[in-house]
Structures are given as C-alpha cells and as structure tokens.
C-alpha cells in the first residue's frame, strides 16, 4: 500500500487572479510561486503550515452544475477576527461566527465568507 505523504493543495479557478491574490494576502496567506501569463497565469499561496491554495486565472464566473468542493477551511486561532478581517478585505458574509458542536461531540468555532470569486471560505477552530 502506498504511503500517504499528506495534504498539499486545493486548486481554485478565478475570474480576477490579481484580486484573489490580494484578498488571500490580506487574510495572511503568502505568495509562494507564480507562473504563466494571461489566461494561463497561476500561483500557489501558503495558507498556513505549508498547506497551499493553487489559484488559476481563466475562470468564467459561471456556477458549476456539480461543484467538487464545498468550501476551503482555514485553521484559525480567532475565527471572529478572521471573519471581520475578511469582510474588511472585500469578502461577503455567509455565516456569522458561531460555536457549534459537530455531531454533539466535536466543539468548534467557525465562520464563513464568500471570497472574491464567490468561493466559500471557512475560518475553523477546534475548541
């Protein structure tokens, strides 16, 4: 059986790559590498702990009929503060910060926003 090496990245195709890079930079993510030009432009941003978000230009903005991913979850020390920062950075609120218990046994604090390309971003903290 192959050895699992771990998580590397999630990929996102967007309409405006510069706006998306700027948004995630304001959330504390750092640009790791860039390549290509125009509709073939892409980059990787470190979202924390060496985990990456790969961003591709060339998105159409049209909703997918069968989206593959529900949301991007970013581990957070303070979901409330990250939620407020995201809103100030151009995100739209989706779910206000709240403490919940998943399945009644897994307490978390979470909040959700819509990013610049309407992707859903969650700020997640285990309690």
The tens digit of pLDDT for each residue in 35-73 reads: 999 999 999 999 999 899 999 999 887 776 666 677 999
CA distance 16 to 86: 17
More confident residue, 7 or 100: 100
The pLDDT tens digits of the residues spanning 69-113 come to 779 999 999 999 999 999 999 999 999 999 999 888 899 999 999
Identify the band that residue 1 occupies on the pLDDT scale cut at 50, 70 and 90.
confident
Alpha-carbon gap, residue 13 to 60, rounded angstroms: 9
Q: What mean pLDDT do residues 14-32 have?
A: 96
Banded pLDDT at 22 (limits 50, 70, 90): very high
Conformational region of residue 105, where left means phi above 0, alpha means psi within -120 to 50, and beta covers everything else: alpha
């Amino acid at each position: 059986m192959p050895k699992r090496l771990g998580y590397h990245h999630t990929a996102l195709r967007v309409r405006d790559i510069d706006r998306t890079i700027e948004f995630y930079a304001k959330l504390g993510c750092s640009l790791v590498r860039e390549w290509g030009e125009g509709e073939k432009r892409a980059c990787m941003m470190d979202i924390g702990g060496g985990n990456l978000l790969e961003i591709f230009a060339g998105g159409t903005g049209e909703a997918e009929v069968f989206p593959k991913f529900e949301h991007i979850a970013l581990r957070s020390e303070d979901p409330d503060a990250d939620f407020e920062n995201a809103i100030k950075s151009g995100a739209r609120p989706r779910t206000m910060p709240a403490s919940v218990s998943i399945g009644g046994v897994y307490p978390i604090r979470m909040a959700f926003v819509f990013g610049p390309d309407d992707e859903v971003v969650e700020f997640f903290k285990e309690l």
